[in-house]
Structure 1
């Protein structure tokens, strides 16, 4: 909702949704009111797992934005036996269209719910119709900040999305920042990994590497071709399902090291401890190189860390550091380091937990890593 009225002082906007608070007491004297209306609106919106906010400026009017995790309705073929057909509003005729001829079942959306973050209205309309044609149910966000709020609301309601498609260049919060925020939140809260597909009109060299290093799963250039979109989404969803299945247990597998050590977990833990201790020093050196804007040293250490992470089967982090090493420009290599560092921190957390579990097992009389138990601290220096 938007108006062109007198507007609200920005200092008053912060308390606007609190009970018995109004922006201007003089308005209450003139028109009446208790200061409860917006509080009730906020409570109703939050009951539906949504959010409400206000944007205003004095003399320029006000805009109130409500974000709700509503799911588009796709019309059913008919009413249930013995009941009359309900009166509902159809979203789009494209939702009723069958999958294109020759499309295999595993390549269609099958009604899976995806979120599209795209700031341009014509792109939203075209991509939404493409997704509906492929069998997906699509919700839309006009920018990255709105997408973040919709994802948070969906997570809170237990009705999450199967995938996020995001433009890379948007106002308020772009696709890069949105992805970084999502990956950080997943790691901090132990949430399943949401598949993310980047959409951009920028086909410059290095763009795909930047997207993958940030934690995106695929990269598509606009304008999107239906066949390319179908193949990419199908592949990403298959990969996501495989990753969830492989990560059903919280403990890392370290299959490469397990094979080397003939399945002896104690020996594997000793090797993982060496990785953690060496990586702490490498991280400090990389932080110094990034702070000094020294891409040559950064690339050298990125090569070293990608090789080390490869030994632990941490493929996503390997790709992130390979992108730093192989960035086509020094500026890109420096820009790709922070997301690679975040990915490495997650690797370190898993490795530290693995060694700690083995040490605890040794304390209970189980077989332990050779040598005395050592405390392993995660490098906590500020991110570059």
Structure 2
């Protein structure tokens, strides 16, 4: 109270300014109020008591201000007295100036009286003011100052952490209430402080605080243990240079100074520390600045935790993480490579492959499947595979998904393979496939399936073709068996005639009539057998694609005469009429293959005669535009529509009974059709059972130039000794053939020399000279040296000597071989005597004389 009174007595002059808030006493009261607010902010109950204390302090504050105001009034009275004195002095001065003429005695009296009055007024004013002030001070001291000072001492003890002294509250209830509230607040503060200390002491974090000189002011036990298992009090006043971590002291102090200087906390940063045991550990530290009530920096507060184990765990975890990342990267790379390989395999697979989910929706599809079914991948992804590809049976009827074996297998988790199934293309045509279905599982549950399809349309067609071919082969085998039986019949029948009549002629050689009849029958049987062999050879050539059409200038009239003459004997033998109907505009000559054209017409004529029991056969010929039209009509047995379907097929006739009744190989009409096609023509047939048949042949007509005529010699034109003067060398290994040739050529007047092989022929030419012979008749197949090789050697000795080839092989390549070896021409066996003589004459010219008869060698 003394220091407060002193502050009041010693008030500065500025108290008169009317700003009592600037007085030190008021400032002290405000400071007490601020400290109370700071100490009681942590508890609602204490805050409530503090509000009561604050109200009392506010009353005290108003009382002090009232005291100041009373004092101000006292000062004002003194001041007014001074002003009054000044006014009196001023009046006296004026009066003195006015009454200067008055006497000094009167003036002195007046001056003394005024002075005495002034002192009395001033003394009275001061006395009144002092009494008032002392009364107010006494009241304030009794009612406010002493309890207030007690409260301040109590609060200051709490601030210093000491036991607060008892407070004299006097007789006023307000002070007792304030004291009770302050006591409760003190207890609460003590509990809070105790709780705070317990928290600081028990937390695993290390807590410390330093002053501005960076000396330790305190810490918790955990920090003390890190410092060397000492008590927290032992660290007070020490700095980091005196600790076990002195090596890091500069680092720590730099951090402390940075926080205090900037005022910015530094939170959760890592720093090293050396323990008293010499170990290096890692700390995670946070530091904040400490300030006093005035906001001034007074130190730094820090907390940290040892994160060495965590760092090591993090490092180990990081190693594991890097290892795991490397492993994942490796596995990912391998997986990507595997996926790339799988995609490459999938995309390059020839079979169609697609996947479906558990609802049969397509999840992927490869290019082969897209091409197989005519879709793009974008058109099918997410759509039902069954609805797209498998919606119908092969016959087009609906195929419910519930009946689809692939769908059922996929949903049941079973593998399935169906070798003959039908899927459908986008354009609606069926695709024959083999289907393989493999289910997909995820967590033990079926999640879909992979379906592989292989297009077996070609295989199915091949299988069907194979089945068809097998049926055809079986039919052909049956037909060939019938054909062979027919061939046996056709060959044995004329062979029987040849052998039988040869025996008859041999036994009756002295009877010219019987002998002549036997030889005629032998000749007819041989020609019939030759026809069978020719049909077989022609069919073989056609089947091998080796039959060649040789077009040349030919006489249509002579060809028709020959054909009709050959068929006339057969028709007359059956009592049939055979007549011709030649249009007047039909050309006499054309460019065509005379042999094959005659063969076509002769086959049709003999076939008509064969199947005509009675009536007639007509051969009609006319020119229609650029086509030669030949029509053969008969009144025979005719054919049904079913028989017409295969009338041109090989080995076919009406039926087996017909074959036995009418004979024949069954190759004639097939050969005829192929010959017509090779000559770029057409053939058709019309027939009715019991009425007859009509075959029509149309061939391209190529006119012959008038000068392009061939002087063909008919048998009637050949003189009896047409080969007189011609010398022929014959190379033939078969004795019978030697004798036949010698008789045929000898009767024609030729001189004949016969050798048994090609080597003997060459030696004879070398021996007799190149001009000794007009022509050489060379067999193709002989021992020692064959005809081809012998021809080459002969032509080296005699380049101008013509060589004719003869062989039983009647194929085109045989003729080509003959011509390639240098032979002039070619004739097939069996040899027609007239054809041979005619060929020799065409080759050597009319009776060529190579030397005088006397100059020729004698044989």
Question: Shared fold (TM-score greater than 0.5)?
Answer: no
Greater fraction helix: 2
Greater fraction strand: 2
- Look at both structures and tell me which one has the larger radius of gyration over its CA atoms: 2
Structure ranking higher on relative contact order (CA contacts 8 Å, 6+ apart): 1
Q: So what's the TM-score if we normalise by structure 2?
A: 0.15
